[in-house]
Amino acid sequence: MQEVVQQLLECRVVGILRLPQSDLALRALEVAIEHGLRAVEVTMTTPNALEILRSARQQWYGKALVGAGTVLNAEEARAVIDAGAQFVVSPILDAGMVETALRANVPPIPGVFSPTEIFHAYRLGAPVVKVFPAVTLGTAFFKEMKAPLPQIPLMAVGGLNAHNAAEYLHAGADMVGVGGALFPKAAILAGEFEGVAQTAEALAALSHLHIQHA
Residue 130 annotated among the catalytic residues of the structure: yes
Sheet holding 175-178, edge to edge: 108-109, 88-89, 65-69, 39-43, 13-17, 175-178, 154-157, 129-131, 111-112
Cis peptide before 150, with omega less than 30 degrees from 0? no
d(CA 141, CA 133): 11
Please enumerate in sequence order all residues whose Cβ is within 8 A of that of 152, keeping only pairs 6 or more positions apart, or say none: 118, 119, 122, 129, 145
Q: What is the DSSP letter of 162?
A: T
CB count in 10 Å sphere of residue 179 = 21
Please enumerate in sequence order all residues whose Cβ is within 8 A of that of 168, keeping only pairs 6 or more positions apart, or say none: 134, 139, 142, 156, 160, 176
d(CA 45, CA 69): 8
3-state secondary structure of 156: strand
d(CA 211, CA 192): 33
The active-site residue out of 41, 99, 146, 185 is: 41
The active-site residue out of 30, 34, 51, 130 is: 130
d(CA 77, CA 32): 25
Residues recognised as catalytic: 41, 130
